[in-house]
Structure 1
Amino acid sequence: MSADPENSLGLTTSPIRNSLPLISERFEKYRQLVVCMEAYIHDHLTIVTTSIKSHEKLRKSTSIDSVVRFETDPEGSMQVTETSEIEHAGSHDHDINTFFRLLQDQTESLIKQMSLAETTMKSQVIPQLKGLQSSISTKQKEFSHLCHTHEKEYKLALQQTMKELEHFELSISKSEMLPENAKSDFRHDPYFSKRILMSQADAQLQSEQKFLNFIQKSETDLRLAEIQTMQELKQVFELFSSILVHLHEDYSKSFQKLNSHFQDIPNDLEWSRFLKVYDNKLASTSETLPGLSHPSSNRDSIPEPHERNLETVTFPNRRHFSTVPILEGVLARKDGKFSSKMSSHYYVITKNRFLFEFNSRVCSNTQPNHVFFLPECTVKDLVDSGPYRFKLHGKDLSSAFIKSSKTLVLEASSEDELKTWYNVLSELTGLMYSSQESRDSD
């Protein structure tokens, strides 16, 4: 099953494999495992302090049907084998599922009192399991909080992008329906709308990468948490087993078998099986998460997400003709009427005959310093005051409330650049300055 590479570049298409719900379920599964283990040992304590009838309750509470099931192959959990098969199977069949089945059978053989072990089980074994359960619950709460925060941030970024994309589409539609010589609101200028959209797209991609990093880190943290949980469970069960081993020789043999079975389970066995079943749902790669790929995996048929940037993402009308400037470039501008200092700014003339001035050409700079509708402006050559200077006079539309007249004294870097800008501005503006206007403005 192959994905369309073009779709993965769509601005509103999320390429992230969100495994956070799967990780949350995995934490709950291990918490339930600890709960089951605690219930089993607590039932042993009840048996020790009451009577042999409690052993029946113990056997029932450790029934394989009530235990958390773990994956054993890519198709899902397999039927746990019978005890006789377990005893003759190799260590590769030692897992959590078979362990609980063996535990149930061994429980049925416990028929004598265990009063000498009661104090130790109450003071050491049970508290450790409760502490482990509390630790897993705390990790669950912290993970849930972080999930909510990161998902909310990412969704807000996507929503804002959709909003700006709708505004951009609207500006395209209005631009296409605008009469040739009509004046439009510069806020609906396709170039300006696209510039804002590109800025939001950049913010979205950063949020997207942050969200992906969080998912990959969560998967790595899950792996470490599983191994740590297995190690602690082994330690707890080691102590529990040793208590019962010393009660009686028969009990010793029984629990030595249980402990041997449990200790034979590799720390990463369940993790490796988890990868075999869910590797195509995890966002990590084999480089960031060891053991992710295996021979029977279908992961190769699912393409990894592309590294996205503003040059590769696509969205409708990105290359629409109305978004391509008539002319753009860097010009020097006189800072004030009585100042001789010149500073560089980025200027753009759009298809709708707006002139925008920005501090730079980067798309994150979306607030123009000045906006002029060129048909309502005049332009004059200022060769006498500078080699490549000219000035533009008109109303500055950049403020939503104040539309004041403004004169920009601009300077090109060469004669060719001066001719290019001057000719385009002359064609798009109104009449040239009259002699009287020139004197008045000077």
Structure 2
Amino acid sequence: MSVSAQQHGNLPTRSTSNDEDAIPDEDSSEVTRLFHERLQAYKHACGYLEDYVQQTEKMQHAHGKEYEKVLKTVSHPLKEGHHFDQSLGGMAGMFDNIRSNTQGISNSHYETAKTLKGSVLPIFERLHNEIKNKTKELSKGAGKGAKVVDKSRGASQKHIELLGQHTASFDSTGGNIAGKEDPYVLQRQVYHRLNKQVIEENSNRDDLIAVQNSFAQFEAHLVQTIQNGLNQFNQALSHQAEQTRFMYNDITGTSQRMSPDFEWNGFLKRNSSVLIDPSAPKRSVENISFPNQDHPSTKPLIAGSLERKGKLLKKFDTSFYVVTPSKYLHEFKTDDDFSKDPMPENSLYLPDCMIGAVEGNDFTVRGKDASKGGIGAKLAMTKEFALRAHTPQDALRWHEVIASVSGGQGDGGLSSPVGAGGATGGYQRDQALSSPVAGGAYSGGTDAPAYEAGAGGVGPGMTTAEKEAAGYGSHGGPGTGV
């Protein structure tokens, strides 16, 4: 395998199979709202039972007339009644049974009213408070997570739009854009935000699945508590007349026959299109696609690790370097897009730089850091970047690509040399030591000076006569005659 192919194999790749939208067309809070509504339904159902017991207690003092008030507490349909199964065996059927049996109650006693107030009513009051607390817990947990997801999606969308703007600017200006607006950099920043977004989405998804699973247990507890309350309600009235006893036994029997998971199973069936399927796979950045993801300006001409000689300690440190179609040489600490926002440590606009000859594994590039942009780039000091490749062949390859980009043709249509049959930057590997390179970069002859000018030195701005008067050969090398 050629060095070019090996280098290409080390570059990060992202699979785009099973494409997903970068910003899903869905409301992340829809599940939370559904559970809020369901809790409201149970809260009102519990309130119905509280009213029922309270009015029953009053009825013990006022006998038959007060039973009309008791009937009124459950005469209206359940609020959010569509959450309950309307067939027999569920909450709606239980309330229908209560209505019919309450009509038949004709007697009561004072002692029964005292028992109802002191023992039965607190059960439903505590249950009502449990539902309220569950609602608050849902708002602070999954509800808050939905807001975080929406915020992360907004940040991703904003950066995707920014990438679209600058890829369009790249096309319209022939690649002449600021370093901080380089589509390659912006795309990496999109991946960074998408990774954060997906983490938030998956975290919120896990929270919602946990809530969804806990609701089954919570509803079983609700139903069992209601059953327990109605059972004590029946015991308090057991000393009443046989007919009254029969009526309340029928109410309790109906509630006891209700399976704890009857309503939950019906709820799952009716809302299967909204609720989350726990077996569905989580989202992954590798499967996400977004506009301009494969735009030519986002693909590096060459990328990989190089060593740069430090200014003070004179030792070499390894960093990740890339030459982009926008004619920038960017230096990054790593090629990791996800751990932190990938902002370049240094950005050299190659047409304004001077390129030194290859000496073994080493070559130099001299220019100003344009990574800060604006006034900061204009005020930046000219630096010499002493770079070292892993092999002499890698050094020649990097030198050829950098020299070809620094030619200042301004066509903006440069493509990656990686994988083109071992050729890099339009030059064959066996021509690496002698082929002329664009932009005035010299070929490595022994009489060449330490640096050759790009667009900022000897470039398109000098005529052939001026170059010859300055001692340059036909390919930009002073006096080389190459």
- Interval of TM-score (by shorter of Structure 1 and Structure 2): 0.7 to 0.9
SS of equivalent residue, structure 2 residue 139:
helix
Identify the residue that residue 314 of structure 1 maps to in structure 2.
Answer: 289
Aligned length: 393
Give the superposition deviation at 1:15.
Answer: 6.2
Say if 1:201 and 1:67 are closer, same or farther in 2 by CA, change over 3 A: closer
Identify the residue that residue 113 of structure 1 maps to in structure 2.
Answer: 108
Question: Which AA in structure 2 matches 1:211?
Answer: N
Distance in 1, Cα, partners of 2:322 & 2:248: 81
Give the superposition deviation at 1:7.
Answer: 9.2
Give the superposition deviation at 1:307.
Answer: 3.6
Retained in 2: the 8 A contact 1:412–1:418?
A: yes
Identify the residue that residue 404 of structure 1 maps to in structure 2.
Answer: 381
Greater displacement, 413-422 / 13-22 = 13-22
Question: Which AA in structure 2 matches 1:378?
Answer: M
Identify the residue that residue 189 of structure 1 maps to in structure 2.
Answer: 182
Give the superposition deviation at 1:16.
Answer: 7.4
Say if 1:15 and 1:189 are closer, same or farther in 2 by CA, change over 3 A: same
Distance in 2, Cα, partners of 1:370 & 1:436: 22
Give the superposition deviation at 1:353.
Answer: 0.4
SS of equivalent residue, structure 1 residue 184:
coil
SS of equivalent residue, structure 1 residue 345:
strand
After TM superposition, list the pairs within 5 Å mapping 1:374-393 onto structure 2: 374-381=350-357, 383=359, 387-393=360-366
Identify the residue that residue 418 of structure 1 maps to in structure 2.
Answer: 395
Q: Paired residue for 1:12, among 15, 23, 26?
A: 23
Say if 1:356 and 1:68 are closer, same or farther in 2 by CA, change over 3 A: closer
Give the superposition deviation at 1:333.
Answer: 1.1
Retained in 2: the 8 A contact 1:55–1:110?
A: yes
Distance in 2, Cα, partners of 1:9 & 1:102: 50
Greater displacement, 266-275 / 103-112 = 103-112
Identify the residue that residue 145 of structure 1 maps to in structure 2.
Answer: 140
Retained in 2: the 8 A contact 1:62–1:104?
A: yes
Distance in 2, Cα, partners of 1:114 & 1:43: 13
Distance in 1, Cα, partners of 2:45 & 2:17: 44
Q: Paired residue for 1:353, among 312, 324, 327?
A: 327
After TM superposition, list the pairs within 5 Å mapping 1:183-222 onto structure 2: 183-222=176-215
Distance in 1, Cα, partners of 2:364 & 2:26: 49
Question: Which AA in structure 2 matches 1:177?
Answer: S
SS of equivalent residue, structure 1 residue 280:
coil
Give yes or no for the alignment of 1:32 onto 2:44: yes
SS of equivalent residue, structure 1 residue 191:
helix
Identify the residue that residue 47 of structure 1 maps to in structure 2.
Answer: 59
Give the superposition deviation at 1:51.
Answer: 3.0
Give the superposition deviation at 1:276.
Answer: 1.4
SS of equivalent residue, structure 1 residue 13:
coil
Identify the residue that residue 253 of structure 1 maps to in structure 2.
Answer: 246
Retained in 1: the 8 A contact 2:19–2:289?
A: no
Retained in 2: the 8 A contact 1:174–1:188?
A: no
CA deviation string 1:128-185 (max 9, x = no partner)? 21111111112112212334421211111111111101110011110001147xx421
Distance in 2, Cα, partners of 1:58 & 1:8: 59
SS of equivalent residue, structure 2 residue 258:
coil
Q: In angstroms, what is the RMSD of aligned CA positions?
A: 2.3
Q: Paired residue for 1:238, among 231, 235, 241?
A: 231
Distance in 2, Cα, partners of 1:415 & 1:45: 96
Greater displacement, 118-127 / 265-274 = 118-127
TM-score of the superposed pair, with normalisation by structure 1: 0.83
Give yes or no for the alignment of 1:178 onto 2:173: yes
Distance in 1, Cα, partners of 2:188 & 2:162: 12
**Which structure's CA Rg is the greater one?**
2
Give the superposition deviation at 1:436.
Answer: 7.5
Give the superposition deviation at 1:66.
Answer: 5.0
SS of equivalent residue, structure 1 residue 50:
helix
CA deviation string 1:256-294 (max 9, x = no partner)? 222111111110000011111111210133x5xxxxxxx
Say if 1:418 and 1:230 are closer, same or farther in 2 by CA, change over 3 A: same
Identify the residue that residue 158 of structure 1 maps to in structure 2.
Answer: 153
Give yes or no for the alignment of 1:325 onto 2:300: yes
Q: Paired residue for 1:344, among 298, 311, 318?
A: 318
After TM superposition, list the pairs within 5 Å mapping 1:220-299 onto structure 2: 220-285=213-278, 287=279
Give the superposition deviation at 1:68.
Answer: 5.9
SS of equivalent residue, structure 1 residue 279:
coil
SS of equivalent residue, structure 2 residue 200:
helix
Question: Which AA in structure 2 matches 1:339?
Answer: L
Retained in 2: the 8 A contact 1:70–1:97?
A: no
Question: Which AA in structure 2 matches 1:389?
Answer: D
Retained in 2: the 8 A contact 1:347–1:355?
A: yes
Q: What is the percentage of aligned positions where both structures have the same residue?
A: 21
